[in-house]
Every structure is written in C-alpha cells, then in structure tokens.
Structure 1
Amino acid sequence: MTGLLFQDFVGWFDKRMNDRKVLLIVDNCPTHPKVVEGLRNVELFFLPPNTTSKIQPCDVGIIRAFKAHYRRRFYSSILQGLEVEVPNPEKINILNAINFANMAWNFDVKTIASCFWHCKIRSEENNVPEPEVGELDEGIQGLNDVISNLHYRNVMDVEHLLNYPNENNAVMKSPTDEEIIQSVMNSNDDENDHEPNDSSVVPNVSSKEAFQAIVTLSNYLLQHEQNIPEVVYALQKVKDRIHYGLGGKKKQSTIDAYF
C-alpha cells in the first residue's frame, strides 16, 4: 500500500457510495493519509493508537491463521519435491504462491468468527455461543509437524515464523520518477544479458499423461479407502472437462496442410 493508492481507493469508494453516509474505519498505517480531499459520502475514522491487537479481527488471529495454512502448504510442497527428487524444491513461482494463498484463505470459517467474537464484534440478534479460543490456533500444529519432517538445522520457532518482526513493520513507499526509470532500464539490461529461464515455463503435458494422472489418483484413493463421493465426482468432472475440452479444439485437417 502507498499513500497515492490509498487516496485513489478512497476516492473510488466515495463515488461508489453515492447518496449514502459511510464511516470508514482505518488503522494508523503510515501509508494511510490522515486527510483525503473531495470526499462527499465517506468520512475517515482513524483507530486510536496501540489498539490493533484488541479491536481488529485480522490482527487478532485471521492473518496468523492464514499465514500458518499458507506456510504449511509451502513446506509440504518442499517435502513432496524432495520425495520425487525435484531440483530446488524450495523454489516456487507466482502461480504456486497464488494457489497456496487461495487454498490457505479457504480455512474453516469458525476461525474468522472466533476473531470477530474476540473483538466483541457480533450481532446482538445472533445468540450463537462464542467459539472456543483454541480454534484460533488451527493449522499451527500441522505447520510444526511439516517443518519437523524437513529436519532443518537451527529451525526457527513456529511462533517466531508467524510473527516475524520485520514482516509486520514493512512499509512500501512511492518510488520517485528517477527510481522508476532506473528500474526499467535495469530490467531491460537483465533481459538482454540473460537467457530466459525455462523453469518458469509450465511443462507441456499431453492428454494421455493427464488421463493417466487421474486414473493413478483414483487408484490411490481406492487403495487407501479414501473413495469419498465428492472427490470421485470432482475427478470425473475434471476428466470430462479435459476430454470435451480437447475434443472441442480438434479440427478436420485439409489436404493442403500436408504440403
């Protein structure tokens, strides 16, 4: 986040809230300007200092749970890479990171509800009992187990890993025009000096290999008595999508294609 991005977002949000009165609660991040000119429908309310860990659900536990699930999947991918002898299993691309984040965010909704309950943010009409505090630590034990299986030397404590000091204090500043120009020039020089990295290219997979992978996965689930109907249906759906998707792209060859 930068100050310019924040002002652009608030201005866009103000236009969306036409003929409405909105109180936008904002924390005291340095990139959140105290004053944004030209607001008609939105009023900014900045939280008191040193209250982040008390009244903000994300900082109470949602971010911590997300990071735990994300990093458990990241370290699990390293273990899987070591098992199949993949070179540099610690290296991931942006697509892998997006998939990890997507799966990590879909953790149990009870964790999010617990954080809102802990901050006393809840509907008075809903008399659902408060979730147990232990649900906030969901995924922590799984992360600890995965890291232990990697047998790292001088391994970092899980709590320190999830609450790394420098990670929370990082603030993005808007680059100057000179810095932008210099970064573009440097990137062009790097493209000219280095050959493209083949590791960032998705490997070509044939339709036969894709079908065989689905069959192998189905047999694996049957072998371990994990033939869950939802999983079987999902696999069949993927198989159909591959089959009909490839079939729809097939085109009748003409005689001139062979000359």
Structure 2
Amino acid sequence: MPRRNLNYHEKLKLIQVKSKNKHVDQLMSEFKVSRATVFRILNNSEKIIKTVNGCKGKMKRIVESVDSFDQKMVQYIKQMNEFGFPVTSLMLKLKAKRLAANENKELVGSNGWLDCFKKRCNIKHGRLSGESASTNMEIVTKFKDEIIPTIILKYPPQFRYNLDETAIFYRQLPNKTYFVSKSAHFGSKISKERVSILIGCNHRGDKLIPMIIGKSKNPRALKANYSEFQNLQIIYKSNSSAWMTLKLFDHYLSEWHKELIEKDEKIALIIDNFAGHKVDENKFPNIQFYWLPPQTTSHLQPMDNGIIKAFKNKYVQHLFQRFSEYFDQNMSLNVIMKNINIFDALKWINDSWSEVSMDTIINCWNHAGYREEIVDESLIIENIENNDEDDNVAQIYSQLTEGIKDSPTLVEYMDRLTMNDLNTYSVSDYESTRSL
C-alpha cells in the first residue's frame, strides 16, 4: 500500500470512526493507510485530540512550542479583531517581541517565526478590497535604450532627480487582518482624511524637502504645536482637494530653481506627464525635463520602484507604534482615532522620509534601469563628436593613455571628469585619472 500521511483532522476522524467499533481492515481501506499507521494513530489518540483542540489540526507533525506564549498571541489577535482593528505582520512581530521581553526571552520576530506561528495556531490572513494597468513594453524598452543612456551620459548621479506625488490616509487602518480561523473579524469605519505628499531625490540618495498638501490652511493641531512644527524639514501647503495643482508644483520648482542658480547647478528631472506637472519649461533653464511616457511609471520611475513603498512602510511603523501604545492603555478604537491629528501625520512623514536609507534610494534607481553599465562607450564617443564644446576630451584622453599599460577605459576616464556649465567636461585633477 502506498505511503500516505494524514493530517491531524484526518487522524481525529479515524479515531472517531474507530469508536463506532469499525474493524481495523475497514479503517485501512477507508483512509488508505497501513495497519501499522492505524495502530500508531490509535495509540496516540489522546495526544492527537489535544493537538487538534490546540489549533494545530492541519499539521502532519507536531511542532513543540511554548503553549502559553502562543495562547497569548492568539488572544491578542482575538482582542484586536473584537475591536475591529486590522492585524498585520508587523504588528504581530512587535507584539511578540514585547511579550518575549516581558518574559525575559529572546525573540527576533523574523518572517520564519511568523510563518511557523501562523501554521501552529491556524492563523489566516484575509482581505477586509487593487488595480492594475497595462504597459506598452516596447515604449519602456525604447526609453531605456535611448533616453536613459543619454541622461546617464550627461548627468552624474547627484544631478539626476525624480519627483512624484503620493497620498496618505494618515490615520486609516489596513483593510486586511490576521484572524483565528472561524472567529469573528469585523472592520471599522474607514478614515478618509488624506494628505498628498510631493517627494523627490537624486540617484546619489540626496533627498529634497517634501511638500505636504492638506485641506486646512491653518489646522488647529499645527497652531498648538507651532514651535515644533517649525523645526520639521517639510513644506506645508493647502487647497480644497488636498492634491497637487499646477500652481503648487510651479511654486515648488521655482523655489528649488533659485537654489540651483545660487549653486550654479543644472540637473535632469525625470517626471511623469501628470497635468499638474506641465509647467512652462522655459522658466527653469537649469532644469532639463525628461517626461515619462504614459502608463510606464511602474517600470521607469524610481519613486514607483520602491522608494515610495519604503517611505510608506516607515510611516505605517510610526502609526502602528502609536496605536499599540494606546491599545495597551485599553483605549477604544474610536478614541485612538480621535487622538491622532494632522500634526502627528506631518511629524511621522518628516521622520519616515529621513529614515529611508541612501542604499534603498540608489537600489530603486538602479532597479528602474538607471545603471551606469548600460552606457555604451561608442555612445560617449558619438556624443563627444557631436558636441563642439567637447571636441578636446577624446584628444586629451588619447594623449594621456598613449603607451601606458592598464590605462582606464574612456568610460572610466569620463567618470573622473567634473561637470561644468551643464554638459561641458573638464579635467579637474590630473592625478584622479587613475595615476596617469
């Protein structure tokens, strides 16, 4: 007879059928297992019944654990479900760490621990409601093959910028929750209070000051915390829809452009074709606009390749930390929601944006296709030949490397040049060219 492993629900059913005085041969035929398996299950009947009652029914092997710890975690999930509070992976990890600390135990709270806990206690994850858009990959490929190499060739990482907006429902709970199987799990009224955020950064990981757009011009919460609000590295604006407008975007670019003129810097700005971005380009001579084709931002925009997600994850951590603190004080969900205001949101936005690491930003730029290695050396030579101001670069390179072993490639040589007056290269340090 082929080997077959029964889960604990099936083993319990076998025990229950046996209690009706069925013969072992009948059990073997019905459950398609060997005689030895039947007797082994019957001999461990008490352990199996206890396992199923302890929320381990779908497992085929018993995984020993600290029952009291798991029970506390299950009770926590039930309590949160009763309050209508969605439970997320992050919340479970944070709660487990706090429980372990209280019991003087070490717990990392890794994804592996969480997966095992969910299996042990039959924890489910359900939706309390997505969107997809088609992308023309031919357009994406063309942009990556033609436009991105040009941007990389003309602008070093510190002069390549991307701007984008995102919205945050600053005290809205998740629409998914973990729940104990067959237990009640209801939601609460969805908070629709929203702010829009314009964030930007360059390929090197330097961040621009974010602009937050709310509905109220002078929120009461900001008046009560004015001195602390003044210390935040943010710009707060308002309009009736709490969304980006052409006027607000033009104002933001104008202030930024003044700084670029003072520093004598010229940059590339990669941006989507949202109507609110369609400013008069002639007003910003130090900014070269590169407009992304429609419906391609998920592939070509660094912000959409993980930067915004990382920022929002940081924000959610601050939000959940506040919820956890209030929940531990036995505050009701409605009271907790009322205690979170626009000033809290602005402070968490400020902290969350500062917590996004430079490595994360650089990796997201690279993931969107803005990598130095995609620039072909022949493209550099062609660009130099077509630029009257740079006719001497190739000549300088050939003179410096003539007769020298292990000389740098032209691409490496160009990397050691500094940019002056937008796209004019000059040798800033003879020794920097790999000890030529």
Q: Could you tell me the TM-score, scaled by structure 2's length?
A: 0.25
State which structure, 1 or 2, has the greater radius of gyration over its C-alpha atoms.
2
TM-score normalised to the size of structure 1? 0.40
Q: Which has the higher strand share?
A: 2
Task: State the structure with bigger RCO (CA 8 A, min sep 6), 1 or 2.
Answer: 1
